Homo-oligomer: A and B are copies of this chain.
Amino acid sequence: MALAENGKLANKIKTLQTIQSEVESSNRIALSVDCVIFGFDENKLKVLLIRSDLKKYQGRYSLLGDLVYPNEDLSAAAYRILKQRTGLNDLYLEQVETFGSVGRHPAGRVVTVAYCSLVNVQHHKLRILENDLHWHDVKSTTELAFDHQDIFDACYNRLQKRIQKHPLGFNLLPKKFSLRELQNLYEAILDIKLDRRNFRKKFFSMDFLIDTGEMEQDVPHRPGKLYKFNYEKYEKKKKKWFGIDF
C-alpha cells in the first residue's frame, strides 16, 4: 500500500516518521468483523443471529461481530467471536468481503470485514440465554439490522458458488455422514432438487469419500452407509482446470 502517494503525486522519498504521522493523524477509522455463521439442522440451512441491542434497531436481528482490537489480526478477531458464541475453535472460516459505505453504521464510520463460517450444530452448545442468540432459518427472511442483510447475502452467495467446486459442505455435517445427508445439505444450500442416483454417481466418481464400514443408526427405514471425506486425497487430486464457460 502506497501511503506515501497520499493525495498528491509525491516524488520524493519519505521517511518512516512522515508516514507514521500520516497514519496516526487523521484518517483513522473504526474496524469491525462480522461473522455469518452457518449451521445445518433438520435438513435446513441456518444462520446464527442475535437480537440487536442497539435502540435504533430494536427488534431486529444482527450478525455476530465486534470491533477489531488494535493488536489483533482480522481473522483472530473473527475466531474470537466464533469461540465466544459457539465455544468452538478451529472452525471453517473464510473472509468474504469488506463493507465500508460511509453511512453504514449509525455510530460513525465503521468499516467491517465479513467472514463466513461453517459449524456442525451437533458439536456445540450455544449460550442462547443472551439477547436471543439463535439459529435462524435461512429461508425465513428477517430484516436484519445495519447493512447486515447485504453482508448475509454476500456470504450466502459465496457459499452457494463455492460449495460446488470445493469440499466445504462437510464442515456442516458430522464427521461420518450418509450420502442422503450430503445430498440434503447440497439441496438446502443451493435450494434446488438433485437426482439421487446422479448425485451418488458424481461423488463416487470423484472418489474422495471413504466408506467407514458403519451404518446409520436410529433411522426409521433402511439405514445407509456412513462416509468420511478424504481431505488428503482431495488436496492431491483436486481439479485445477474447470474450463472456460460463462
Of the four ranges (under 10, 10 to 19, 20 to 34, 35 or more), the interface on chain A belongs to 35 or more
Q: Report chain B residues within 8 Å CB of A219.
A: none
With contacts A3-B65, A148-B1 known, is A55 near B244, CB below 8 A?
no
- Please tell me if A52 contacts chain B, counting CB pairs below 8 Å: yes
Give the segment of A39-47, A66-74, A220-228 that binds chain B.
A66-74
Q: Contact between B23 and A111 (Cβ–Cβ < 8 Å)?
A: no
Q: Report chain B residues within 8 Å CB of A109.
A: 23, 70-71
Q: Contact between B16 and A66 (Cβ–Cβ < 8 Å)?
A: no
CA distance A34 to B3 in the complex (A): 9
- Please tell me if A24 contacts chain B, counting CB pairs below 8 Å: yes
B-facing mask of A204-228, CB < 8 A → 1, else 0? 0010100000000000000000000
Q: Contact between A108 and B29 (Cβ–Cβ < 8 Å)?
A: no
B-facing mask of A86-118, CB < 8 A → 1, else 0? 000000000101101110011111111100000
Give the segment of A134-142, A159-167, A173-181 that binds chain B.
A159-167
With contacts A2-B50, A110-B3, A164-B243 known, is A29 near B70, CB below 8 A?
yes
Q: Report chain B residues within 8 Å CB of A52.
A: 2, 4
* Contact of A20 (CB < 8 Å), options: B5, B29, B108, B203: B108
**CB closest chain-B residue, reference A28:** B28
Q: Report chain B residues within 8 Å CB of A163.
A: 244
CA distance A67 to B23 in the complex (A): 8
**CB closest chain-B residue, reference A84:** B9
**CB closest chain-B residue, reference A205:** B245
Q: Contact between B16 and A102 (Cβ–Cβ < 8 Å)?
A: no
Q: Report chain B residues within 8 Å CB of A130.
A: 9, 11
B-facing mask of A120-132, CB < 8 A → 1, else 0? 0000000100110
Return A17 CB to nearest CB of chain B, in Å. 9
With contacts A98-B95, A246-B167, A246-B206 known, is A31 near B111, CB below 8 A?
yes
Q: Report chain B residues within 8 Å CB of A38.
A: none
CA distance A15 to B53 in the complex (A): 9
Instruction: Kindly list the 8 A-B residue pairs having the minimum CB-CB distance in the complex, ordered from nearest.
Output: A28-B28, A1-B65, A74-B100, A4-B53, A19-B107, A1-B32, A27-B67, A1-B112
Q: Can you list 6 residue pairs at the A/B interface with Cβ under 8 Å?
A: A1-B66, A3-B107, A23-B110, A31-B31, A31-B100, A74-B98
